[in-house]
A and B are shown apart, each in its own frame.
Chain A
Amino acid sequence: MTLPQLFFLYFAVSMTGLSLLVVTRRNPVHSVLWMLVLFLHIAALYLFLNAEFLAAIQIIVYAGAILVLFLFVIMLLNLRREETERMFQDQWPVGAGIGVVLAVFFVVIVGKIAVLAPLGEYSIDAVQAEGHIMSIGKVLYTKFLLPFEIASLILLVAIIGAVVLAKKRI
């Protein structure tokens, strides 16, 4: 096993473990903290994929914005009651069992049928030469122009939705 693969192994294992920690904590604020650690691991994994811009965005948007929103929502809840109530439904062992079986199937099947796509023109060296942000910028605003403009419409819907939802409650 090469050194980069060892790093990947570490990230894969610890990210799975962290995800389990997120869903099994009794206190939701502790879950958020573990999720923060999880997001940092995802960002680091992006670095190992030579995608430093995505790593920065992972932290700015997910850790810096979405998780803060989670935290605000959790703080709006009544945590005292949350801590005394049952965490999982009775059938959770069945759910966990199905999850494990599916995971095994997934590993077996992906191992059998996975075919690597042909390498594109943005090899590691090409991205290193001009920088990852520049590579994304050049492609996103020419080749993927339409998805980019559609993103603005989706964001518009999100803005309006946020206000409408909150206004109803007031």
Chain B
Amino acid sequence: MSVSAMLLVFIKTILVVSVFLIHVMYVQYFERKVIGHMQSRMGPMRVGWHGLLQPIADSIKLFFKEDIIPSAADRPIFYIAPIIGVIAGVSSVAVIPLWENFSIANLNVGILYILALSSIASYSVILGGWASNSKYSFLGGLRSSAQVISYEIAMGLSLVGVMMMAGSANLNDIVKAQANGWFIVPQIIAFVVFFISALAETNRVPFDLPEAETELVSGFATEYSGMRWALFFMAEYAGMFVMSGLAATCFLGGWSGPQIPFMGTMSGLIWFLMKLYMFIFIYFWIRATLPRYRYDQLMGLGWKIFIPLALLNIVITGLVKIL
């Protein structure tokens, strides 16, 4: 690999990630607007036209907030925990194909790469909760890690069906394998299992038990403030993007779609973003609609329903492919 090729990869990566981070920043504006309108409110309106500058104002506010570190905290781990989350959340985006034959890194183990990073992300939550040395944080971290690991199995097993259909774990190949029909039709069971597990994996409503305000204040993030808290927030939203992107890629054909006139290859990007934001909208919709699960129900759902369902889906897919 020549130096100029490496430089090109470098620029490409930094550019895409920067754009991604802006999306992550703005999606919370989108969330507040969507939920606001669903509850007959306007959402943010004050900063800029229809509150468009709200995320920037929020960032500036967080930047100037005092950084409180509890005296009983385990400092090194307290510092590192949110950064682990950001690394895992942001770098998962590398393998998701944005348009035809374009992803930051075209890896043969694409799906496994995302699964691996999402298992690393659980450390940020459990270690953050432990390092804070507070009861709410500790319980929040503990609950969250048990939840994340339970749903990780269901998520991995549901993607096995997709890999069987495509004969590859490379996300570019998976998109190409859907040229004759999206996998959401033959893999409908896998899709339902995947989507609900993804909600639990990213700690979103109705599975946001780690931060159940009514019982655990803010869960693992109780003792975090200012920018460090914002990093947890950023990791959560980056994870939401990655899961939506993965759902769009594995079940809705990713960037594939009819050519939009005058757009060239960017047509693929537009289709991909439309599918991605549809999933993100569903995330918000669910948040505005459903109440929170109880912890025992949550664990029961993961272990007693989703894992057998995912296994059943593998058996059915195998049978159908043989016949």
Contact = CB atoms under 8 A, between A and B. Distances in A.
Any A–B CB pair closer than 8 Å: yes
Nearest to A132: B108
Nearest to A64: B119
Given A29-B74, A64-B122, A71-B126, A133 B109 contact: yes
Q: Chain A: interface secondary structure?
A: helix
Contacts of A55: 109
A18 interface: no
A55 B113 CA distance: 9
A68 B109 contact: no
B120 A65 contact: no
Interface string A59-94: 110011100100110010000000000000000000
Interface string B133-148: 0000000001001000
A131 interface: yes
A52 B116 contact: no
Q: Chain B: interface secondary structure?
A: helix
Most chain B CB atoms below 10 A, which of A29, A30, A53, A132: A29
Contacts, number: 67
Given A60-B119, A68-B126, A53 B112 contact: yes
Contacts of A52: 107-109
Contact of B80 (A33, A65, A133): A33
B120 A63 contact: yes
Most chain A CB atoms below 10 A, which of B113, B120, B145, B152: B120
B149 interface: yes
B96 to A, nearest CB: 16
Contacts of B77: 29-30, 33
B169 interface: yes
Interface in B35-81: 74, 76-77, 80
A30 B76 CA distance: 9
Interface residues of B, number: 27
Given A52-B108, A68-B126, A133 B119 contact: no
A30 B131 CA distance: 10
Interface in A34-53: 36, 52-53
A64 B123 CA distance: 9
B115 A60 contact: yes
B168 interface: yes
A75 B74 CA distance: 14
Most chain B CB atoms below 10 A, which of A27, A64, A71, A131: A64
B130 A56 contact: no
Interface in A126-154: 131-134
A56 to B, nearest CB: 4
A42 B116 CA distance: 14
A13 B242 CA distance: 34
Contacts of A56: 109, 112-113, 115-116
A53 B116 CA distance: 11
B170 interface: yes
A158 to B, nearest CB: 15
Interface of B: 74, 76-77, 80, 107-109, 112-113, 115-117, 119-120, 122-123, 126-127, 130, 142, 145, 149, 152, 156, 168-170
23 contacts: A29-B130, A30-B77, A36-B120, A52-B109, A53-B109, A55-B109, A56-B109, A56-B112, A60-B119, A63-B119, A63-B120, A64-B115, A64-B116, A64-B119, A64-B152, A65-B119, A68-B122, A71-B145, A75-B130, A75-B142, A131-B108, A131-B168, A133-B169
Given A30-B76, A53-B112, A133-B108, 10 more contacts: A29-B74, A29-B127, A33-B77, A36-B123, A64-B149, A65-B119, A68-B119, A68-B149, A132-B109, A133-B109
Query: What 9 pairs across the A-B complex have the smallest Cβ distances?
Result: A64-B119, A56-B112, A59-B116, A131-B108, A56-B109, A60-B116, A52-B109, A56-B116, A133-B169
